[in-house]
């Protein structure tokens, strides 16, 4: 990712001058360059109107040399999008060091531009050994010139969040031969111990002792042992109950014995997107030294078909004591979550618990790739999350829960079956989870199946892993649980 710097004057080695432009388009006098009138006119004829994320690239003469100029539109309040446009336009453009005219901005606006630029500059080139020079990123720094007092403080905070988003994207993008339960834990350790996060790791024998047969049932078909990872960050008051996040971390989902069709199965490397979001959110929250007690729990398993794998029709006893009839082994996420949720409540006694999971394909049918599904037993928590979704840019839409849906999980042999009928598949999955929520605990479930991965670029992310959930959870904490 690019490096963000601050300076009073334009750096000598800057090879592009970036100028933010608000809605309505470029005003010749406000551009701050000798040929302002010409550039403003050119931008206008190219239909550049200063809309959020819009850009216009040109050259202008300065002391006898041609200077590369990039106008980026901030719209009314799209400073992060404008920042995203800087990286999208310049990352592989040959430009190495961009200088941003930040003197006309507020501290918040300037920091948001830096944030968008950093987020949009993330990419994973680990396995590209044949990149031609012109395909490699050239841009390595963005210097904010003349930013007002307070910009650097705001940036420190946003930088921590960008690091969290990047970590989630990394975990989600890595293939399943690289990121599996044990290696997920080791990456989380390397990232988070330096930030003051304590790790607690349960291996399979320990989970067996605790009776986590639902989670372990999924893991049985895999050569890779499962793990339950707890990330503990206690930045709040002593004795204050923590907020707990729980993520589905299926490092690869073949479907198990109810094997998925081959077409697109490779996508299931990102079936750990919930756990990835939790790890990224903990990175952000600890990184910016939030004044809150927050626990992140990742249920990590691989769902494989094998002679030892779980069968449809098996009955397992979860840690809560409730028995579950396994119908389709491809509905594995809820088995992982039910034990993780139960253990989380027993261990940390939270007032609030929020789980995130790429849980159901049905979610893509109902909400597509525009917002994640939100389910909750508490209107207050649902409102807090919805609000955090709007301000963070990770939007949520609430869906219902209710007795009639719950009844669809009745089983002829066990306390419940794992899947209901095809209709309302995302809701019955949430209903299943709710059966493991203790009385009085405020709980929300976020089905992020459509949001963890994107097939097209957005303002602040290239196509691929989005990092969905990190900014949302960070906002939830910042707006409701600090101070």
Active site residues: 260, 334
Applying CB under 6 A, the span of 89-97, 202-210, 278-286, 330-338 interacting with ligand BES comes to 330-338
* 302 touches ligand BES (CB under 6 A): no
Pick between residue 269 and residue 475 the one whose CB is nearest to Zn ion: 269
With CA atoms as reference, report the closest residue to 226 among 337, 297, 311, 302: 302
How many residues touch ligand BES (CB under 6 A)? 14
Region binding Mn ion by CB under 5 A among candidate stretches 58-66, 247-255, 421-429, 464-472: 247-255
313 near ligand BES (CB under 6 A): no
Q: Is residue 447 a contact point for ligand BES (CB under 6 A)?
A: no
Q: Is 142 exposed, middle or buried (0-12, 13-18, 19+ CB in 10 A)?
A: buried
Q: How far apart are CA 436 and CA 342, in angstroms?
A: 6
Among 112, 170, 204, 253, binds ligand BES (CB under 6 A): 253
Say how far apart CA 168 and CA 162 lie, in whole Å: 10
161-to-16, 172, 256, 447 alpha-carbon distances in Å: 26, 17, 35, 22
Q: Which of residues 321-360 bind Mn ion (CB under 5 A)?
A: 330, 332
> Cβ 183 to ligand BES, closest distance in Å?
20
- Give the integer Cα–Cα distance in Å for 258 and 203: 26
Which span sits near ligand BES by CB under 6 A: 44-52, 134-142, 328-336, 383-391? 328-336
Using a 10 angstrom Cβ sphere, with 0-12 exposed, 13-18 middle and 19 or more buried, the burial of residue 235 is middle
Of 11-40, binders to ligand BES (CB under 6 A) are: none
Binding residue (CB under 6 A) for ligand BES from 112, 330, 339, 355: 330
> Which range of residues in 154-162, 227-235, 327-335, 469-477 is near Zn ion by CB under 5 A?
327-335
Residues 356/469, Cβ–Cβ less than 8 Å: yes
- Min dist CB 321 to ligand BES, Å, is 24
DSSP state of 217: H
Work out which of 181, 333, 350, 464 binds Zn ion, going by CB under 5 A: 333
Q: For the CA atoms of 368, 371, 377, 382, what is the dihedral angle to 10 degrees? A: -160
Q: How far is the CB of 78 from ligand BES (least distance, A)?
A: 29
Q: Please name which of 110, 119, 137 lies closest in space to residue 19, comparing C-alpha atoms.
A: 110
* Interaction of residue 253 with Zn ion, rule CB under 5 A: yes
Give me the residue whose beta carbon is nearest to ligand BES: 361
Q: Please report how close the Cβ of residue 36 comes to Mn ion at its closest, in angstroms.
A: 57
| Spatial distance between the Cα atoms of 310 and 226, rounded to a whole number of angstroms | 14
Query: Of the two residues 19 and 416, which places its CB atom closer to ligand BES in the complex?
Result: 416
For residue 316, the minimal CB distance to ligand BES (Å) is 16
Residue 366, binding choice from Mn ion, Zn ion, ligand BES, none, Cβ under 5 to 8 Å by partner class: none
Nearer to ligand BES, 323 or 328 (CB): 328
CA distances from 355 to 375, 436, 443 (A): 10, 12, 8
Instruction: Render 96-149 in DSSP notation, one character per residue.
Output: -EEEEE-TTS-HHHHHHHHHHHHHHT----TT-----GGGS----EEEEESPPT
Which of 204, 271, 302, 474 contacts ligand BES by CB under 6 A?
Answer: 271
- CB-wise, 233 or 252, nearer to ligand BES? 252
Query: Quick one: which segment of 67-75, 176-184, 285-293, 323-331 binds ligand BES (CB under 6 A)?
Result: 323-331
Give strand pairing partners of 73: 21
Min. distance of Cβ 407 from Zn ion in angstroms? 24
256 binds Zn ion (CB under 5 A): no
Structure-block tokens of residue 268? 């299931």
Choosing from 80, 112, 232, 253, the residue that interacts with Mn ion (CB under 5 A) is: 253
Residues 269-308 that bind Zn ion (CB under 5 A): 271
Task: Draw the binding track, 350-369, toward ligand BES (x: CB under 6 A; -: no contact).
Answer: --------x-xxx-------
Please state the separation of Cα 236 from the chain's center in Å.
23
**Quick one: tokens of 341?**
């949720």
- Reported in sequence order, the residue ranges of 318-477 that DSSP labels E, i.e. its strands, are 323-325, 352-357, 372-376, 396-398, 416-417, 442-447, 453-454, 464-465
| Residues at the site binding ligand BES, with contacts judged by CB under 6 A | 253, 271, 328, 330-333, 358, 360-362, 419, 425, 449
| Residues at the site binding Zn ion, with contacts judged by CB under 5 A | 250, 253, 271, 333
| Residues at the site binding Mn ion, with contacts judged by CB under 5 A | 253, 330, 332
């Amino acid at each position: 990712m690019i490096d963000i710097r601050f300076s009073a004057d334009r750096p000598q080695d800057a090879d592009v001058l970036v100028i933010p432009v608000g809605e309505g388009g470029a005003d010749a006098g406000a551009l701050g360059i000798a040929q302002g009138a010409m550039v403003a006119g050119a931008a206008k004829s190219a239909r550049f109107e200063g809309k959020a994320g819009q850009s216009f690239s040109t050259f202008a003469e300065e002391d006898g040399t041609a200077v590369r100029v990039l106008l980026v539109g901030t719209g009314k309040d799209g400073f992060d999008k404008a920042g995203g446009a800087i990286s999208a336009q310049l990352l592989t453009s040959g430009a190495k060091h961009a200088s941003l005219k930040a003197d006309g901005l507020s501290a918040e606006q300037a920091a948001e531009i830096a944030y968008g630029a950093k987020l949009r500059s993330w990419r994973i080139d680990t396995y590209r050994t044949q990149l031609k020079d012109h395909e490699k990123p050239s841009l390595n720094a963005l210097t904010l010139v003349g930013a007002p007092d307070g910009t650097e403080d705001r940036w420190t905070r946003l930088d921590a969040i960008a690091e969290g988003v990047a970590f989630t994207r990394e975990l989600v993008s890595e293939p399943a031969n690289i990121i599996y339960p044990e290696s997920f834990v080791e990456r989380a350790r390397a990232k988070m111990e330096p930030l003051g996060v304590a790790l607690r790791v349960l291996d399979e024998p320990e989970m067996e002792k605790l009776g986590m047969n639902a989670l372990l049932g999924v893991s049985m078909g895999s050569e890779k042992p499962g793990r339950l990872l707890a990330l503990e960050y206690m930045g709040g008051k002593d004795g204050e109950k923590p907020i707990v996040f729980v993520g589905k971390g299926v490092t690869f989902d073949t479907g198990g014995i109810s094997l998925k069709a081959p077409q697109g199965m490779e996508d299931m490397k990102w079936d750990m997107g919930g756990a990835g979001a939790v790890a990224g959110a903990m990175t952000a929250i600890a990184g910016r030294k939030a004044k809150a007690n927050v626990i992140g729990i990742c249920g990590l398993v691989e769902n494989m078909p094998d002679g030892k794998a779980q069968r449809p029709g098996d009955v397992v006893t979860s840690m809560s004591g409730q028995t579950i009839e396994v119908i389709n082994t491809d509905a594995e996420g809820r088995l992982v979550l039910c034990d993780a949720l139960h253990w989380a409540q027993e261990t940390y006694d939270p007032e609030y618990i929020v789980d995130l999971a790429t849980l159901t394909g049905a979610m893509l049918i109902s909400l597509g790739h525009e917002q994640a599904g939100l389910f909750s037993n508490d209107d207050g928590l649902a409102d807090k999350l919805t609000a955090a979704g709007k301000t963070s840019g990770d939007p949520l839409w609430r869906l219902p829960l209710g007795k009639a849906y719950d009844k669809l999980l009745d089983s002829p042999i066990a306390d419940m079956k794992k899947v209901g009928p095809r209709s309302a598949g995302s809701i019955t999955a949430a209903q299943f989870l709710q059966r493991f929520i203790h009385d009085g605990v405020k709980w929300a479930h976020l089905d992020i199946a459509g949001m963890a991965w994107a097939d097209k670029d957005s303002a602040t992310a290239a196509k691929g892993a989005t990092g969905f959930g990190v900014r949302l959870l960070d906002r939830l904490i910042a707006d409701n649980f600090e101070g």
